[in-house]
Amino acid sequence: MNKNSFFYIQSILLFIIVCFFNTTNAQTRSRAPGALPPSTPKAVFADGSFENGMDKWSFWQNSPKLGSYAITDHKPHSGKKCIKLTINNVASEIWHVQLQQRNFQIKKNVIYRLSYWARGENNAGTLEVVFVKGSPPWSYYSGFKSRVTDKWEKYEMLFTAPLTTTDIQLAFQCAHHKGDYFIDDISFVAEDTMSLEEMPKNWYQNAEKRIDQIRKGDFCIKAVDKNGNPCKGPISVKLLKHSFDWGTCLAFLGGDHEKKYKETALKHFNCGVFENALKWEEFEREEGKPAFADVDRYIKWSEKNNFPIRGHTLVWGTENYGFDRHWARLKNDSMFTESIKSRITRDLKRYKGKIAEYDVWNEPVHEPSIFNRLGNDILDSAFVWANRADPDAKLYINEYSIISGTDAKPYRDLVEKLMKKNIPLHGIGIQGHFSTRIDPLDIGAKLSYMAQTGLPLKITEFDMDVNALGLSEKEMASEYAKMMRTAFSHPAVTGFLFWGFWDNRHWRPGAGLYDKDFKPKAAADSVYNLIHKVWTTSDTLEPDSTGKIEFRGFFGEYAFTVKDSPKSQKTVKVNFSENSKKEKVLNFQ
């Protein structure tokens, strides 16, 4: 080939390449706004095909002889190898046997897609995959559970990185069921970026200003006597109860401290939530024998003390605590579905007017076992059945790892799917079981992200892993107050409930406001001080000649007291809500 021929061919090839790239760019530009251009995602961690053995993977078990692992050529999904995890003895916690990979890099607010293929033999059951902090304390970030079958199936989850770090661990864990678990073709790739609102750096410092704007109103009362004449003399104004829900979970277990337990709940809070009494598996341990008497005693106490209790929870897909062996789950699928419908319908009709708010479904993102059996539509049906049984009840969904972890996106996606189908969903429950210190800017951004649905938010379960974080009592009080201030200053949040207040009845050691001997910790004082001293309204005002007084106060129930003689006084109670009239006439008869 002569030189001229070579350059001619080279020019033709260059022309073809330029045309190809121009065409590709034109196609990219022509896509609808917001669409992601196709790309080959870059893997960010070690090989997940196991063709080269364990590579950077490792096997861990909490105690010897729980299980073992092997790189095997027994029916791999692709290639020649896969990994087999064998569980010989069931453990109390699913994480007691793990396939781990640590110290790969993640970047803050980047959304990663984890995909993997799995199957089981010899009655293998639940396989869970989690992302946690790679060193103590092992802070939970995100997770996904699946029930493996005897056929290879592909599973996927999205993980949003909470920070830029290499201190991260991915773990497959399966110690709840004996059997052989086969995993192959694990892929972990960057896919998108989380669109969280960037909070101003002084957002938390301005919390009290926002609280004054969103939790208070300007009110006026006209005080008159029985003849309609203006009242004279000073009028005391006192907030009795916030419109905002400040609450705790309740467990009435009896014993020497029961009276003190109930008195303390009433002292600090204005509402509650069942901890376990209404969970189906606890409430109806035998078919047809629901523990109405047990729940009724909570209701009776609630009504006596004007202390409403939320209904937690109608359905929960967890397989822990032996719930996977509940009588309803041992039925075939159609009968299981009918049992769920009957439970919801029966109990909402019974407690109509007595329980005003329910967690219809608890942890639908993280506990999919019922969906794996009955399909995702059972979630829709549960809300529809609940709404039919009690149209006045407020129906919530409830989930963890939203503000304390990284699962806000899949949770919001699920909520928006329900909303698009006009499912009767009235509010979003957001648990807050923190294993990290409180970061107001991060929490505020995630609350705003969830608030974009337009539904009210409620912090339904708050506590911190105090012992693992090594918090002193003073630090614990500061962190609890920080979380309360963060939530109370966010306009979308309508309530805040602690998941317990006494160490003797708390699932997390040391997380209660009171120790085992009922001695108050510093946090008990800080919680009480905020709710009942800082965020309260109490004053004595002089009415004008028409009997009017004006004041700015928190939304809630008030007591107005006038003295009609040195030895006699009269009190009138009235509610001021965000939507109520700003001026009210009070008749002191």
Residue 414 burial (CB count, 10 A): 17
CA distance 328 to 359: 19
Which three-class secondary structure state does DSSP give residue 296? helix
CA distance 101 to 70: 16
How many residues are listed for the chain in this entry? 589
Q: How confident is the model at residue 19 (pLDDT cuts 50, 70, 90)?
A: very low
Name residue 392's amino acid: D
Query: Over 80: is that where the pLDDT of 211 sits?
Result: yes
Query: Over 90: is that where the pLDDT of 496 sits?
Result: yes
Residue 41 in tokens: 């995602």
With a pLDDT cut of 90, the percent of the chain lying above it is 85
CA distance 81 to 182: 10
Query: Over 60: is that where the pLDDT of 14 sits?
Result: no
pLDDT of residue 44: 55
pLDDT in tens, 22-72: 333 333 322 222 333 333 444 456 789 999 999 889 999 999 999 999 999
Least confident of 187-196, 248-257, 495-504: 187-196
pLDDT of residue 283: 98
The residue extents of the domains of the chain are 58-193, 245-534
Q: Helix count (H) and strand count (E) of the chain?
A: 13, 25
Calculate the average pLDDT of the chain: 91
pLDDT of residue 417: 98
pLDDT in tens, 101-110: 999 999 999 9
pLDDT of residue 55: 87
Residue 318 burial (CB count, 10 A): 16
pLDDT of residue 566: 64
CA distance 128 to 183: 12
Residue 5 burial (CB count, 10 A): 9
CA distance 162 to 141: 8
- The secondary structure element, H or E, covering residue 409 is helix 408-420
Residue corresponding to tokens 């970026």: 193
Mean pLDDT over 133-146 rounds to 93
pLDDT of residue 563: 80
Residue corresponding to tokens 């942890």: 363
pLDDT in tens, 420-440: 999 999 999 999 999 999 999
Instruction: Tell which wins on pLDDT, 137 or 537.
Output: 537
CA distance 172 to 159: 14
Residue 78 in tokens: 């692709």
CA distance 246 to 528: 11
122 neighbors 128 (Cβ within 8 angstroms): no
pTM of this prediction? 0.88
Q: Which CATH class is domain 58-193?
A: mainly beta
Peptide bond into 137 cis (omega under 30): yes
pLDDT of residue 125: 95
Alpha helices in 351-407 (DSSP H): 369-374, 377-389
pLDDT of residue 34: 30
Mean pLDDT over 155-183 rounds to 96
Q: How confident is the model at residue 582 (pLDDT cuts 50, 70, 90)?
A: confident
Task: Tell me the fold of 245-534.
Answer: TIM Barrel (3.20.20)
Helix 473-488 and helix 522-529, axial crossing angle in degrees, nearest 10: 20
Query: Over 60: is that where the pLDDT of 129 sits?
Result: yes
Peptide bond into 23 cis (omega under 30): no
